[in-house]
Amino acid sequence: MEKYKAVIDTCVIFAGLYSATGASYKLLELIDDCRIVPYLSTTLLFEYEEVLRRNLKRLHLSHRDLDDVLDGICNRVQQRPIHFLWRPQLPDPKDDHVLELAVACGCADIVTFNVRDFTASSLFGIRIVTPAMLLEDIS
List the domain boundaries for the chain.
Answer: 4-138
Q: Determine the 3-state secondary structure of 24 from DSSP.
A: helix
d(CA 21, CA 87): 36
pLDDT at 83: 62
Class of domain 4-138: alpha beta
d(CA 35, CA 76): 10
User: What pLDDT digit, counting tens, does each position of 48-79 carry?
Assistant: 999 999 999 999 999 999 999 999 999 998 77
Give the mean pLDDT of 6-14.
96
Q: Does the pLDDT of residue 82 top 90, yes or no?
A: no
DSSP label at residue 113:
S
Q: Does the pLDDT of residue 1 top 60, yes or no?
A: no
User: What pLDDT digit, counting tens, does each position of 85-127 carry?
Assistant: 666 777 677 888 888 898 888 767 999 998 988 888 888 888 9
